[in-house]
Copies of this chain bind each other. A is one copy, B any other.
Amino acid sequence: MKNLDFLNKALSLLKPVHEEVAKPVSTVQVESVDEKPAVSPAPEFSSMELTVGDKVTIDFGNHFVGYFGMKLSFTGSHPDAPVLLRLRFAENATELLEKQEDYHGWVCSSWIQEEQIHVDIVPSFVDLPRRYALRYAEIEVLAISSKFKLVIEDVRLRAVSGADNSKLLPSALNEECSRIDEIAVRTLHNCKQVVFEDGPKRDRRLWLGDLRLQALADYYTYRDYDMVKACLYLFAALPMPDGRVGACLFLEPEPEVDDTFILDYSLLYVNALLDYFKATDDMETLKELKDTAFLQIDLAAKQLDKSYIIKDSDKMGWAFLDWNLALNRQAGAQGVLLYSLKAAFEIAVLLNDLDKKRVYDQLYYSCLNAANEILWNEKEGFYLSGADRQLSWASQIWMILGGACDRNRARDILKRLPDSGALSMVTPYIHHYYVEALIECGERSKALNVIREYWGGMVKMGADTFWELYNPQNPYESPYGGTIVNSYCHAWSCAPAYFLRRYFTP
């Protein structure tokens, strides 16, 4: 099922990551104050003589992705036994207050960035082989001979990214927006590795939903068209057995598609391809990948019931939209189908494929009419989802983006939503589409406010990069059963760089 031509084209476009050396900026102490992390200065780590139970916490001053190394020496007698260390790497100080053994969630605890290592020879330079995502490194002595004390003379991070800093486009934003943009760019920078990863802490993998948003941000920052192109070819090269594009891909040990399928992600392949063409004018790629894009629409159409509504499902993860576990995804998925049909229609026009154009035109209006007949509730004035007729932000956003209603109704819906009691949004991912919906219906200043308040809320909480999850009402929530596995630098959160640079540059 692999398309080896596509795969080879993709692999030939991938480049080695760039490296820079990051040095610590201070030694800190992280304590829990009112169940929140409080970071305060501590004695310089290199001045400490460490014995059993001692630990130091080193602050690199910003979020990095890379390989940690440390220069160890000693005081006292010649080391006569190995040293056993525990190392913990944290993107966010809150992770240092959480314990691996207290986590019992459903996402694998192996993602927790904690190691136990024996150092056989001191003095020595110890290079850890695994890659970490971190701002803080905590080093604790678990076992050491009484004949000597350990000194951590120096540490360094071999920081890696697929982003070429010399190519970053300048921005001309006001101070507040510039700070948000900077953090968004840092988020993109650190998620950009050999391919676009969703998060450098967890899952470190190419996900389609993230890819689309990263690519949009990238067109206005690093303009690394080759990486986007490579990722689009990878998904097309490695479909699932029935031709659907998977939700994510593995590159190691061999490029391979995961067996996870997410309906909305697969449909957004169409939009991602169109975005790419608009950014690059690369007709050859559009032509080569159009079949993969069109196939996603055709397969999704099979999931329509006879009244042209996407069939609902109890299966966890059949559609994503947002990480709110209570969300009914039927209406949102219908909206995504409409949204991708618009893109498919546009691609058919670009390729002058009149048959496809006509087919998608018909399908689009059938789905649109069905949405307004069946999902729209005139009395409430909102689109409702599923057998329980659930009202949610996600449903409204995707119906608007799908063009289910005109601009006036869209504006009205978005205006009444905050006081409607609608099921809330919890991720920057759905917030991206919320901002897009506001812009789409002419509410630019409201869109800017969302960026200032939502992403700005993370900035106020000290974010160096934007988080996978952020619910202003409950900043420490996790859909995974524990925040210790949350990712604090997540691709789908880099949206401000795209929106601010595209729409809000004075």
- A302 partner residues in chain B, CB cutoff 8 A: none
> In the complex, what's the smallest C-beta–C-beta distance from A70 to chain B, in angstroms?
15
The answer to the question of A83 belonging to the interface, with a C-beta cut-off of 8 Å to chain B, is yes
Shortest CB distance A455–B (Å)? 28
Contact residues of A between 90 and 126, Cβ < 8 Å to B:
106-111, 115-116, 118, 120-124
Query: Cβ of B253 and Cβ of A121 under 8 Å apart?
Result: yes
Q: Is the CB of A143 closer than 8 A to any CB of chain B?
A: yes
Say yes or no: B78 contacts A259, CB within 8 Å: yes
Taking a contact as CB atoms under 8 Å apart, the answer to whether B82 and A258 are in contact is: no
**Contacts A115-B118, A118-B115; A108 near B256 (Cβ below 8 A):** no
Query: Is A318 in contact with chain B by the CB < 8 A criterion?
Result: no
Q: How far is the CA of A84 from the CA of B83 in the complex (A)?
A: 21
Asked if A108 and B145 sit within 8 Å, CB to CB, the answer is: yes
Q: Which residues of B contact A146 (CB under 8 A)?
A: 106, 108
Task: Determine whether A454 belongs to the interface, using a CB cutoff of 8 Å to chain B.
Answer: no
A80 at the interface (CB under 8 A from B): yes
- Min CB gap A48→B, angstroms: 19
CB-defined interface of A241-260 with B at 8 Å, one 1/0 digit per residue?
00000000010110010110
- Shortest distance in angstroms between A201's beta carbon and chain B's nearest beta carbon? 11
A115 touches B116 (CB 8 A): yes
CA distance A122 to B256 in the complex (A): 13
CA distance A202 to B106 in the complex (A): 40
Q: Are A82 and B106 in contact (CB under 8 A)?
A: no
With a cutoff of 8 Å between Cβ atoms, the chain B residues found around residue A144 in the complex are: 108, 110
What is the bound-complex CA distance between A69 and B444, given in angstroms?
A: 59
The smallest C-beta distance from A354 to any residue of chain B, in angstroms, reads 40
Residue A77 is within 8 A (CB to CB) of chain B in the complex: yes
Asked if A7 is at the interface (CB within 8 A of a chain B CB), the reply is: no
Q: Contact between B106 and A83 (Cβ–Cβ < 8 Å)?
A: no
* Chain B residues with CB under 8 A of A295: none
Measured CB to CB, the closest approach of chain B to A290, in angstroms, equals 28
Known contacts: A144-B110, A203-B80, A203-B81. The answer to whether A130 contacts B123 by CB under 8 A is no
Contact with B along A204-238 (1 / 0, CB 8 A): 01000000000000000000000000000000000
Partner of A253, one of B84, B123, B145, B202: B123
Query: Bound complex: CA of A130 vs CA of B82, how far in Å?
Result: 11
B-chain residues with CB within 8 Å of residue A84 when the two chains form the complex: 109-110
Q: Mark out the residues of chain A between 133 and 179 whose CB falls within 8 Å of any chain B CB in the assembled complex.
A: 142-146
- Known contacts A115-B118, A116-B116, A130-B118; is-contact A81 B106 (Cβ 8 Å): no
**Distance of A253 Cα from B122 Cα, bound (Å):** 7
Chain B residues with Cβ below 8 Å from A111 are: 81-82
Q: Determine if A130 and B120 form an interchain contact, defined as CB atoms under 8 angstroms apart.
A: yes
Q: Bound complex: CA of A77 vs CA of B118, how far in Å?
A: 33
**Minimum distance in angstroms from A340 CB to a CB of chain B:** 26
| Known A115-B118, A116-B115, A123-B253: A110·B130 in contact at CB below 8 Å | no
> Residues of B contacting A130 with CB < 8 Å?
118, 120
Once A118-B130, A121-B252, A123-B253 are accepted as A-B contacts, the answer to whether A258 and B110 lie under 8 Å apart by CB is no
Chain B nearest CB from A365 CB (Å) reads 39
Name the B residues within 8 Å of A83 (CB-CB): 110
| Smallest CB gap from A485: residue in B | B81
Residues of B within 8 Å of A122, CB to CB, are 253
Instruction: Give A109 to B120 CA distance when docked, in angstroms.
Output: 13
CA distance A302 to B481 in the complex (A): 70
Residues of B contacting A250 in the complex (Cβ-Cβ under 8 angstroms):
78, 80
Name the CB-closest residue of B to A119: B110
Could you tell me the distance between the alpha carbons of A230 and B205 in the complex, rounded to whole angstroms? Answer: 53
Which residues in B have their C-beta under 8 angstroms from that of A143? Answer: 108-110
Inter-chain contact A80/B258, CB cutoff 8 Å = yes
- Closest CB in chain B relative to A457 CB, distance in Å: 30
- Residue on B with the closest CB to A111? B81
Q: Does B81 lie within 8 Å of A108, measured CB to CB?
A: yes
List 12 contacting pairs A-B, 8 Å CB cutoff, sorted by A: A77-B258, A78-B256, A81-B107, A81-B202, A82-B108, A82-B110, A106-B146, A108-B146, A110-B118, A110-B144, A110-B145, A120-B130
The 5 closest A-B pairs by CB, nearest first: A81-B108, A110-B143, A82-B110, A84-B110, A108-B145
